[in-house]
Amino acid sequence: MDLSYGPEHEAFRQETVAFIEANKHLAPRPGGPSALAWQALLIDRGYAARTIPRAYGGYGADPDILKSRIIAEEFARAQVSPGLGGQGISMLVPTLLEMGTEAQKVQFIGPTLRGEMLWCQGYSEPNAGSDLASLATKGELVGEDWLINGQKIWTSTAHLAHWMFCLVRTEPEAAKHEGISFLLFSMETPGIEIRPLVDMTGAANFNEVFFTDVRVPQHQIVGRRGQGWQVANSILRHERGSLADPNTMLSRVNALTDMMKSETLDGRPVMDNPIYRDRLMQIQGRVLAMRCNDLRLLSAAVNRQNPGVAAMVVKLQGTELRHELEALAIDVLGELGLLYGDTPRLRGHGSWQRDYMYFLGLIIGGGTSQIQKNIIAERGLGMPREAKLATA
Amino acid sequence: MDLSYGPEHEAFRQETVAFIEANKHLAPRPGGPSALAWQALLIDRGYAARTIPRAYGGYGADPDILKSRIIAEEFARAQVSPGLGGQGISMLVPTLLEMGTEAQKVQFIGPTLRGEMLWCQGYSEPNAGSDLASLATKGELVGEDWLINGQKIWTSTAHLAHWMFCLVRTEPEAAKHEGISFLLFSMETPGIEIRPLVDMTGAANFNEVFFTDVRVPQHQIVGRRGQGWQVANSILRHERGSLADPNTMLSRVNALTDMMKSETLDGRPVMDNPIYRDRLMQIQGRVLAMRCNDLRLLSAAVNRQNPGVAAMVVKLQGTELRHELEALAIDVLGELGLLYGDTPRLRGHGSWQRDYMYFLGLIIGGGTSQIQKNIIAERGLGMPREAKLATA
Amino acid sequence: MEFGLSQEQVMLQASVERFLAGQGGLARTRKFVSDNETRATDVLEGLAGLGVTGLIIPEDFGGVGLSFLDAAIVAEALGRYVTPAPYVGTAVLAPLALMRAGNESQKTHWLPRLAAGEVVAGVAISESTGARGDAGLTLKEGKLSGTSLFVIDYEADVYLVADRDGGLHLVPADAPGLTRTSLRTIDGTRPTGELTLDSVTGEALPGSCPAVLRELIDVGRVMFAADTLGAAQDMLEQAVAYSKERKQFERAIATFQAVKHMCAEMVAALEPCRAMVWYAAHALDALSAEASVTACHAKAHLSEVGTLVARRATEVHGGMGFTDLVGLHYWFKRIGFNRQILGGPQTVREDAARLQGFAV
Amino acid sequence: MEFGLSQEQVMLQASVERFLAGQGGLARTRKFVSDNETRATDVLEGLAGLGVTGLIIPEDFGGVGLSFLDAAIVAEALGRYVTPAPYVGTAVLAPLALMRAGNESQKTHWLPRLAAGEVVAGVAISESTGARGDAGLTLKEGKLSGTSLFVIDYEADVYLVADRDGGLHLVPADAPGLTRTSLRTIDGTRPTGELTLDSVTGEALPGSCPAVLRELIDVGRVMFAADTLGAAQDMLEQAVAYSKERKQFERAIATFQAVKHMCAEMVAALEPCRAMVWYAAHALDALSAEASVTACHAKAHLSEVGTLVARRATEVHGGMGFTDLVGLHYWFKRIGFNRQILGGPQTVREDAARLQGFAV
């Protein structure tokens, strides 16, 4: 058991801290330096796009999980922007590196990393949620172009994005998982309509996107025709764990602790209430378990071990835990916990209610808890897949 | 809304109370009057076997649910034995009344009511639990007799019973539910072996029963050949609700309350601990909900209304609630709650631990919680039955 | 022996539900919220026409003189339709306070107007179930000062307020020294807000006493419990219906055991709550020795079960449950509001413990 | 960066498990319980041979000088095999007390004997985590009097006892004035009992202080948490294996979504506990500032998860889980014992709150 990062990495941590200290005045803020300039600096110094080859606009370092973790930790600690994120950088770039043509890598990775090209993801459809592979948006090869018709949903940032990476059914005759292709196209292509999708938090965090005879040049495909499911699947897994970061949960626990010390009920701090206190301790203990689990996953990644089921449970446990954490805060605040939106007496900027609802959305989204349990049982515990149904 | 029982029934209650007061010295007790004499008196006066026709040895009153309830309430309140129970009286007698031949009624009902003939139930098998209809104990017609071979399990009182009512597969060629017959036979028939089945409470509340070439006269069948499933099913439902009587739960809550007042931890009554107190209040509230539901069921029965889903949820909710109630008592007692068996410092005669385990058994037994949920979803909410599986 | 609703009660509830459905149901609620309406006059008038505003007010004062059980089944209907109309304050608690503690002239003046729906009364008693920060009203030399938060039926013409000693007072909305501040909550169907009083002259209800305030709290708790019952029942029904329609993996999701069990767990928890709400309301009417403890349990237990149902019903809807498209969140949020108002579950359970002498 | 077990630790755990399996596993446990054995000498000797009895004792005193993390993974193995051998008291807490608070002659006398497994030490400190009734030991003029309940590793040759002021003492099993009373619990694998002392002359550990007692409690809690981890992991594995074998409705019950989800919920709750136990044990070794709070959380959280797994794994087994035939209840009851000993979850969480200054 060795929780230290070792001398080389501690030196790297010092460097990182020094860099942040020296440059944080350049970090983006409203009315201040732009996010794009900051991103360029971070890439240049190896704090963003760290392991992407230089040829494609990255920094070109060898992968080093601990260094990546150190960067994340220190930028978070200093509360300085760690550069751009988004689905282009987190999902499309790794996909292109693995499956893209040389021309695609050159064309797309650099501008994406630099923040000049924002992407949105076109996967889910109204009738293809948990059962994503049943997606029906149609891509027909007409002359040199794919002609796309259909609808996507849950497309975050569709209204901001320049391009979309999209799953489209191009081989209607093929088996369900084998008729899908992975296409890239500009959101300015004629025939695309975006409608904001208001959710229970009151915000439009997502969109619906409608396609009517959208024309996409034939070569804007990643992988082969009908190979889109494999292309998409190789990165879907990355998305899931990130929804329930235990370090974020820990800061929520700390914020909740502070709130319980400062709020009063009938003249006494709410923390003096043993029942709320016990619930806080329950949550704190569970968050601690998930943080320990996270250390185990980090260690496995560093040492190239397969973490097995320990990784599969993160999304299920984390989103549930976060939802319950926010629920406790609301109970502790009582009627004050109901306040939401632009209103006097609002606590925590309304974040308790917002996250309570948003994490219910995350319990459902990115693979519902029911689907997660199927996966854990089948892949984690080796239980048999759902028995095949008789064709009615 | 009228919670009174009305003047006729209140008069009946007075009568009942007076009877109990005048006769309780005759109630059975170790070294005192026998249970059989008491049973005879109760039948004679209409406090047992109340609605069974006189011709078959009952009291012959018209059914009156409130009077039955009043009898149960007042005998419970006075802590006087309400007469004999058991599967013969509660399950076999109603079955015979509905489906038995005249000869069977005459032969079996009277002795059963009088306690001269004790019965056990032969339904479950090691490979036929939730899926009871897959039972495999074989009954073959050889000459004038059924020749029975196979095994039953979960047979309570098998070692005490004189007779068994038993489900046996007599038509191996028929569909699963249509090949079963309902047979009656003496436990003294050669070829029957009884083995006690020790459970987690440490007691042998149940038995395994093995049959080797057990011969049963052909006429000892209730209903027709292959009709046994319907015969058994008509009464199975009665068994389920009775496992979770809310009035018993209420007396457990009261016992728990008393215990929390008298036990101390670090010199203070455990009731002073707000967390345990809150858990007690949660349980008390849930028990109250089940008691109100029970009133609703009683009212529906009196007024011949179909209580619908309100009846279906009793077993699921009640067994779970009882298990949690006992779990709270153990937590409240801390290490003292671990004590079990013949030991100093034992609390509540060990009933907290015993019932904690026993009610876990009941969560599983009599239709597991999983099966209960299927039934509630399908029959209570009209959700479709499990989709048929492909034959692999 | 008849535990349940009478024919008249079944008809009353049905007629209220029919009206609420006819008046637009969710569509009306959406409009109320998106247009920032403060009072749904059309709904209120319709309810007044059905006698709802005067439900518990004696006939002598222009009401229909029904019971708390009748009031509870109306609350259930309003919850089921997430109706954006004042009710618990104006139709139940304010009339009750006047009936119990008002003098004849107060009754004669206010009750008929309340019964007719001409006047809406807000109720400011939340500090009596737990005061946040320095909230609370003090009576000094006949003048009321201080703050009261989370007024029930806040968009009102007159307020019933409780001072720190349990005294009840009527304060008109335009009383000098009264400042009103709207508070936005998750539940857009229930306008609430705070009152700040600076030496306000109220009209004391002469019969005020701790027992009357206790009864107001008990009755209010049962009404919010009933509202949750209706809202949760509707969410459950929506979830079951959706699961039968929605297909994934070439089958209705209602055929998946996980979905079936989620629905079974909801109904198993919720169905006994119906009898519990009936019983708690009946106890207010007729079983005074049990009424307070039963009201606490109904409020706390319905809050817990409501929270469970609200969450699970949303989950059964998958992503759709999270969107505004099906509008399920109106029910979700209403149940959330009912949970906290007049005391969250833990607060209310501690009250139940105190009432039984288990806590100080 | 290496969060997890070293090669040596993996081998240590494997060798202990190999021994426990070879020595009979459940069959040995059944025999211990049904024969009312008081000390499983064969098991104890085997463990001594593997160095387990001297695991944390320094090599100078005949032990192997390993860490609390090593001790925790041995506890996990013992839980997995529901082993009826003394461990937490005799191999961990008693040696620890001697190492921290004993003088040289005490160490020289006791540690080598404990390490060799020649002597079994019981530990009577349960009153320090919550005294039931009038239990507790008082030191007056050098004499110990009173009662201590729920002695860990009760069937012992010598006892480490804590008095009401936190002073630690050694009391031989045959000390004049000492009366021992066996207490039967649900967990037949863990003999426990009470000591009644009537002016007993004990041997004080001169270095006793609140910090040492605190460390004993922390270490004990982590060990019982580790035991639960092992027991719960084994129950989960038994449940998964059974579900693949058991057929109902013409299919393995493992194909039912309800059964799959029960198993998924178990592993989802339990798997992070493994890292938590590692971390808590490592904190005892190396992160003293966090050690006490982390120990509380590990104990409380493992108790809750263990209870869940014990119940669900039993349910997956259906009726068989309730019988003695498969013997699943030995694990169920061991987890139940671990939950209460040295403080139930609520007690331990309140301790965690106090340690952080949230409660008095």
- From residue B371, how far is each of A387, C179, D173 by CA, in Å? 18, 58, 53
Report residue D137 as tokens.
């030991």
Please answer whether residues A143 and A110 qualify as being in contact, where contact means their C-beta atoms are separated by less than 8 angstroms. no
The reply to whether C249 touches chain D by the CB within 8 Å rule is no
Please answer whether residues D319 and B154 qualify as being in contact, where contact means their C-beta atoms are separated by less than 8 angstroms. yes
- Cβ neighbours of A134 in C, within 8 Å: 248-250
Residue ranges of chain C whose pLDDT lies below 50: none
pLDDT in tens, D280-308: 999 999 999 999 999 999 999 999 999 99
Nearest to A316 among D6, D268, D350 (CB): D268
- Cβ neighbours of C261 in D, within 8 Å: 258
A80: left (phi over 0), alpha (psi -120 to 50) or beta: beta
Q: Minimal CA–CA distance to D25: which of D49, D43, D41, D44?
A: D43
Q: Averaged over D45-66, what is the pLDDT?
A: 98
Contact B345 D315 (CB under 8 A): no
pLDDT in tens, D331-353: 999 999 999 999 999 999 999 99
pLDDT in tens, B37-78: 999 999 999 999 999 999 999 999 999 999 999 999 999 899
Nearest to D273 among A289, A372, A382 (CB): A289
Q: Minimal CA–CA distance to B226: which of B169, B150, B145, B295?
A: B169
Q: Which residues contact D18 (CB under 8 A, 6 or more apart)?
A: none
* Strand D158-162 relative to strand D121-124, pairing: parallel
Our measurement of the distance from residue A235's CA atom to the centroid of its chain's CA atoms, rounded to an integer in Å, reads 11
Contact C1 B310 (CB under 8 A): no
Report residue C130 as tokens.
């737990």
Q: What residues form DSSP beta bridges with D169?
A: D161, D204
Interatomic CA distance for residues C185 and A345, integer angstroms: 11
Catalytic residue among A239, A324, A326, A378: A239
Establish whether B239 is a catalytic residue: yes
Nearest to A275 among B274, B387, B388 (CB): B274
Nearest to A390 among B274, B275, B390 (CB): B390
The reply to whether D294 touches chain A by the CB within 8 Å rule is yes
More confident residue, A172 or B240: A172
Contact A384 D254 (CB under 8 A): yes
Overall fold of domain B243-380: Butyryl-CoA Dehydrogenase, subunit A; domain 3 (1.20.140)
* Strand B163-169 relative to strand B119-122, pairing: parallel
pLDDT in tens, D256-282: 999 999 999 999 999 999 999 999 999
Three state DSSP letters for C91-151? HHHHHHHHHHHCCHHHHHHHHHHHHHCCCCEEEECHHHHCCECCCEEEEECCEEEEEECCC
Interatomic CA distance for residues D93 and D88, integer angstroms: 6
Q: Is the pLDDT of residue B268 over 60?
A: yes
Nearest to A390 among B274, B278, B388 (CB): B388
The reply to whether B345 touches chain A by the CB within 8 Å rule is no
Residue B392: the pLDDT is 38
Please answer whether residues B113 and B58 qualify as being in contact, where contact means their C-beta atoms are separated by less than 8 angstroms. yes
Best residue of C248, C253, C257, C262 to probe chain D, by most D CBs closer than 10 Å = C257
Contact A265 C132 (CB under 8 A): yes
Interatomic CA distance for residues D38 and D191, integer angstroms: 7
Query: B15: burial class by Cβ within 10 Å (0-12, 13-18, 19+)?
Result: middle
Please answer whether residues C1 and B5 qualify as being in contact, where contact means their C-beta atoms are separated by less than 8 angstroms. yes
User: With a cut of 0.90, is the ipTM above it?
Assistant: yes
Q: Which residues of C21-45 are buried (b: 16+ CB within 10 A; e: fewer)?
A: eebebbebbbebbeeebebbeebbe
pLDDT in tens, C3-49: 999 999 999 999 999 999 999 999 999 999 999 999 999 999 999 99
In the DSSP assignment, the letter for residue D103 is -
Contact A289 D276 (CB under 8 A): yes
Place of tokens 């904690």: B356
Catalytic residue among B73, B171, B178, B239: B239
Q: Is the pLDDT of residue B189 over 80?
A: yes
Where are any strands of DSSP class E within D237-317? 247-248, 251-252
Residue B196: the pLDDT is 96
Overall fold of domain A119-226: Butyryl-CoA Dehydrogenase, subunit A; domain 2 (2.40.110)
Where are any strands of DSSP class E within chain B? 119-122, 138-142, 145-153, 163-169, 180-186, 192-197, 206-217, 221-222, 264-265, 268-269
Polymer length of chain A: 392
Nearest chain D CA: its distance from C346 CA (Å): 16
Contact D340 B130 (CB under 8 A): no
Q: Do domains B119-226 and B243-380 have the same CATH topology?
A: no
Q: Work out the number of other CB atoms within 10 angstroms of the CB of residue C290.
A: 16
Query: CA dihedral in degrees (C58, C69, C81, A129; nearest 10)?
Result: 170
Residue B252: the pLDDT is 95
In the DSSP assignment, the letter for residue B53 is -
The reply to whether A388 touches chain B by the CB within 8 Å rule is yes
Nearest chain D CA: its distance from C256 CA (Å): 8
DSSP string, A63-116: P-HHHHHHHHHHHHHHT------SHIIIIIHHHHHHH--HHHIIIIIHHHHTTS
Task: Report H helices in chain A.
Answer: 6-23, 35-45, 65-78, 87, 93-99, 102-104, 110-113, 228-241, 246-262, 274-302, 309-312, 314-333, 351-364, 369-375
- Reading chain A (392 residues) residue by residue, the pLDDT tens digits are 999 999 999 999 999 999 999 999 999 988 888 999 999 999 999 999 999 999 999 999 999 999 999 999 999 999 999 999 899 999 999 999 999 999 999 999 999 999 999 999 999 999 998 899 999 999 999 999 999 999 999 999 999 999 999 999 999 999 999 999 999 999 999 999 999 999 999 999 899 999 999 999 999 999 999 999 999 987 765 554 567 888 899 999 999 999 999 999 999 999 999 999 999 999 999 999 999 999 999 999 999 999 999 999 999 999 999 999 999 999 999 999 999 999 999 999 999 999 999 999 999 987 788 999 999 999 999 999 876 655 43
The reply to whether D249 touches chain A by the CB within 8 Å rule is no
Residue A247: the pLDDT is 87
Nearest chain B CA: its distance from C225 CA (Å): 13
The reply to whether A203 touches chain C by the CB within 8 Å rule is no
pLDDT in tens, D166-193: 999 999 999 999 999 999 999 999 999 9
The reply to whether B213 touches chain A by the CB within 8 Å rule is no
Q: What is this structure's pTM?
A: 0.96
- Cβ neighbours of B389 in A, within 8 Å: 387-390
The reply to whether C256 touches chain D by the CB within 8 Å rule is yes
The reply to whether B388 touches chain A by the CB within 8 Å rule is yes
Give the SS3 label for residue A179.
Answer: coil
Give the SS3 label for residue A364.
Answer: helix
Q: Which residues contact C313 (CB under 8 A, 6 or more apart)?
A: C232, C235, C236, C238, C239, C266, C321, C328, C331
Report residue D116 as tokens.
């060799």
Interatomic CA distance for residues B315 and B312, integer angstroms: 7
- Cβ neighbours of A197 in C, within 8 Å: 323-325
More confident residue, B33 or B337: B337
For A365, nearest residue in chain C (alpha carbons): C319
Please answer whether residues D308 and D315 qualify as being in contact, where contact means their C-beta atoms are separated by less than 8 angstroms. no
Report residue A317 as tokens.
């446990």
Q: Is the pLDDT of residue B391 over 50?
A: no
Q: B 148-177 residues with CB below 8 A of A?
A: none
Query: CA dihedral in degrees (C13, C14, C18, C20; nearest 10)?
Result: 20
Nearest chain D CA: its distance from A39 CA (Å): 29
The reply to whether A303 touches chain D by the CB within 8 Å rule is yes
Nearest chain B CA: its distance from A346 CA (Å): 29
The reply to whether C294 touches chain B by the CB within 8 Å rule is yes
Domain boundaries, given as residue ranges, for chain A: 7-84, 119-226, 243-380
For B391, nearest residue in chain D (alpha carbons): D250
Q: Minimal CA–CA distance to C197: which of C123, C157, C143, C156?
A: C143
For B310, nearest residue in chain C (alpha carbons): C271
Nearest to C358 among B277, B316, B381 (CB): B277
The reply to whether B273 touches chain A by the CB within 8 Å rule is yes
Best residue of B153, B198, B338, B368 to probe chain D, by most D CBs closer than 10 Å = B338
For C243, nearest residue in chain B (alpha carbons): B383
Q: Is the pLDDT of residue B367 over 80?
A: no
Q: Averaged over B176-193, what is the pLDDT?
A: 97
Residue A389: the pLDDT is 58
- Per-residue pLDDT band for B306 (boundaries 50, 70, 90) equals very high
Residue type, A93: V
Nearest to B389 among A274, A275, A390 (CB): A390
Interatomic CA distance for residues C118 and C121, integer angstroms: 10
Contact D126 B335 (CB under 8 A): yes
Residue B366: the pLDDT is 75
Residue B390: the pLDDT is 53
Report residue B9 as tokens.
């029934």
